[in-house]
Amino acid sequence: MNSGVWEEVGRAGLWNEWCGAKAAADLAPAEASCIFYRLRSGPSVLLCQCSCYVAEDQQFPWLEKVFGSRPRRDVQVTVLTCRHVTDYKSPESPGSLPTPFLRALKTRAETEPPGCPPLEQPNIAHDLPAAVLSFCQVWKVPAVLYLCYTDVMKLDLLTAEAFRPALSSQSLRGLAQDVPQSRECLKRLAATDEVQSNIYT
Amino acid sequence: MFVPCGESGPDLSGYTLLMPAVSVGNVGQLAIDLIISTLNMSKIGYFYTDCLVPVVGNNPYATAEENSTELSINTEVYSLPSKKLVALQLRSIFIKYKSKSFCEKLLSWVKSSNCAKVIVLSSSHSYHRNDLQLRSTPFRYLVTPSLQNTVQNQLMNLNWEEMEKSPRIPEINDSDTCIRIPGGGITKTLYEESCSREIPMAVLLKFVSEGDNIPDALGLVEYLNEWLHIIQPRSADPTTSALPWKMPSSWKLLFGSGLPPALF
């Protein structure tokens, strides 16, 4: 988002046990769970930042609101998400895996190979990313999900950089600025978080 | 609703639909996995609803790298036209309060598809068995009235045991009786709705406990095979090992990842 000018075009508020005590109607605009942005230089590019857990019974209505009941097939969807490495099943123990690492799942309609290995069986994706990908698979929309497995629970530079192969995909290639500037931006974001987490200051 | 993979939906008139109930030990789902994998059934569509928790993964029946990146979702439909078989696989649990809605949507689709019969593979808690059930085979069947005339003789010749009814009020023996399938998920709902809608349905179930339920799934598919003869034995010798059921490539790490060597 640091690479271009994005304007906010919509918000979606929802409430469930994981969001906290406030009802959806009481959420202030700044607390909305999903914010939709449009790229000013390319209005056909939309970005959704989802900062809250979307519960199972909310996922289907969320999809219908965002995509409609039958999406257009000329839409291209990319989903980025993270999971803890203990969710990843492999013959090796989670502690010995070289985290963070990226895996991808794509729909049949997506013909470009993703820039990272496919998610191996028996691993699966769930929650909202799975709901989006299922929807796109059924309605033949090109879509790819990039799943980063990490061993930290907070924003850190290494985990953010693990998404770099996703930035060279056809859909995101033109949106990310050149490498040195994005690295600096990530360092600033990660540093802010580190200071706040120091209990001795 | 059923959404085909191709541009148009296949004609399923006269087909036998096999489906699992999400039940104790996931035995029905494991059994359907075995059937799809062994018969190399082709995916023909999705049963897309808001009733099950979304999950996605790569092809659980992959046999080579070339077919390992086909995306699979939580409810998919497979077919084998040569045997007029169609299989619905469910890969996740029901969202709260949505199981009845799923049953209604499913049975409407079954009716409109003109399937010859539906067979539900399921399981029930083994600890709920009464004394008679403890001493007999762990397999049971149920058929709806609209299927009974067609298959009753076949099932009697197989010496199969019908699922017993139990008192509606357990402490009172002379109260009305009803079918109980504890741990069977939507099995009972599907069966009762099919009775009232005159859908030809059979339920095949096994009494199981939670644990490594692969042997239970193998037992259930062999029970089904006694009736439908889906696959033939490798040889005529009855003493040789079981039928050649092929386990899917996704059946690995069922009990978690590898352990850290330092643990030992």
pLDDT band of A25, cuts 50, 70, 90: low
Whether residue A136 contacts residue A150, with contact meaning beta carbons closer than 8 Å, is answered with no
pLDDT at A20 over 70: no
pLDDT at A3 over 90: no
Across A146-155, B123-132, B176-185, least confident range: A146-155
- Tell me whether residues B57 and A94 touch, CB distance under 8 A: no
Mean pLDDT confidence for B26-49: 96
pLDDT in tens, A127-145: 999 999 999 999 999 999 9
Mean pLDDT confidence for A46-64: 88
Which of B56, B95, B258 comes nearest A90 by C-beta?
A: B258
Which of B55, B60, B98 comes nearest A121 by C-beta?
A: B60
pLDDT at A147 over 60: yes
Burial class (CB in 10 A: 0-12, 13-18, 19+), A121: buried
- Tell me whether residues A126 and B55 touch, CB distance under 8 A: yes
Mean pLDDT confidence for B211-236: 88
CB of B236 less than 8 A from some CB of A:
no
Both tokens of residue A137?
């698979």
Mean pLDDT confidence for A81-87: 90
Whether residue B143 contacts residue B227, with contact meaning beta carbons closer than 8 Å, is answered with no
Q: Which residues of A touch B (CB under 8 A)?
A: 56-57, 59-61, 88-96, 105-108, 118-127, 130-131, 133-134, 137-139, 145
Across A115-129, B55-69, B171-185, least confident range: B171-185
A196–chain B nearest CA distance, Å: 33
Per-residue confidence (pLDDT) for residue B91, from 0 to 100: 96
Residue B114 Ramachandran class (φ > 0 left, ψ -120 to 50 alpha, else beta): left
Across chain B, mean pLDDT equals 90
pLDDT at A181 over 70: no
Q: Look at B40 and B238; give whichever has higher pLDDT.
A: B40
Per CATH, the homologous superfamily of domain B11-233+242-263 is PAC-like subunit (3.40.50.10900)
CB of B63 less than 8 A from some CB of A:
no
**C-alpha triplet A145, A132, B113: angle, nearest 5°:** 125
B255–chain A nearest CA distance, Å: 10
Across chain A, mean pLDDT equals 79
Chain A contact set for B96 (CB, 8 A): 56-57
Tell me the C-alpha distance between A166 and A144, whole Å.
10
Dihedral sign from CA coordinates of B63, B68, B74, B77: negative
Per-residue confidence (pLDDT) for residue B28, from 0 to 100: 97
Tell me the C-alpha distance between A16 and A24, whole Å.
9
pLDDT at B237 over 80: no
- Tell me whether residues A134 and B261 touch, CB distance under 8 A: no
User: Which range scores top for mean pLDDT: A18-32, A121-135, A182-196?
Assistant: A121-135
Per-residue confidence (pLDDT) for residue A72, from 0 to 100: 74
Which of A118, A119, A126 comes nearest B53 by C-beta?
A: A126
Which of A59, A95, A138 comes nearest B48 by C-beta?
A: A138
Locate the domains of chain B by residue range: 11-233+242-263
pLDDT band of B167, cuts 50, 70, 90: confident
Q: Look at A158 and B1; give whichever has higher pLDDT.
A: B1
Chain B contact set for A120 (CB, 8 A): 58
- Tell me whether residues A106 and B71 touch, CB distance under 8 A: yes
Q: B47 - beta bridge partners?
A: B2
Give DSSP secondary structure letters for B81-144.
GGGTEEEEEE-SPBPTT-HHHHHHHHHHHHHHHT-SEEEEEEEEEGGG--HHHHTS-SEEEEE-
pLDDT in tens, A34-43: 888 888 877 7
pLDDT at B184 over 60: yes
Whether residue A27 contacts residue A16, with contact meaning beta carbons closer than 8 Å, is answered with no
CB of B64 less than 8 A from some CB of A:
no
Per-residue confidence (pLDDT) for residue B12, from 0 to 100: 93
Chain A contact set for B260 (CB, 8 A): 93, 95-96
Which of A56, A89, A130 comes nearest B56 by C-beta?
A: A130
Chain B contact set for A60 (CB, 8 A): 50
Q: Look at B257 and B185; give whichever has higher pLDDT.
A: B185
CB within 8 Å of A125: residues ≥ 6 apart? A81, A83, A105, A119, A133, A145, A147, B55, B56, B57
pLDDT at A16 over 60: yes
- Tell me whether residues A121 and B259 touch, CB distance under 8 A: no
Which of A93, A106, A122 comes nearest B250 by C-beta?
A: A122
pLDDT at A26 over 60: no
Q: Look at B131 and B33; give whichever has higher pLDDT.
A: B33
pLDDT band of A32, cuts 50, 70, 90: low
Mean pLDDT confidence for B7-21: 92
CB of B250 less than 8 A from some CB of A:
yes
pLDDT at B239 over 90: no
Neighbouring C-beta atoms of residue A5, cutoff 10 Å: 10
Q: Look at A152 and B145; give whichever has higher pLDDT.
A: B145
Across A169-173, B18-22, B41-45, B70-74, least confident range: A169-173
Per-residue confidence (pLDDT) for residue B4, from 0 to 100: 93
Residues 95 to 154 of B: which have CB under 8 A from any A CB? 95-96, 98
Scanning every residue of chain A, which has its alpha carbon at the shortest distance from the alpha carbon of B46?
Answer: A138
Which of A92, A118, A138 comes nearest B58 by C-beta?
A: A118
Interface probe for B, chosen from A53, A124, A139, A147 (most Cβ of B below 10 Å), is A124
Per-residue confidence (pLDDT) for residue A4, from 0 to 100: 66
Percent of chain A at pLDDT > 90 equals 26
pLDDT at B114 over 90: yes
Q: Look at B194 and A163; give whichever has higher pLDDT.
A: B194
Mean pLDDT confidence for B175-193: 92
Whether residue A12 contacts residue A62, with contact meaning beta carbons closer than 8 Å, is answered with yes
Per-residue confidence (pLDDT) for residue A2, from 0 to 100: 60
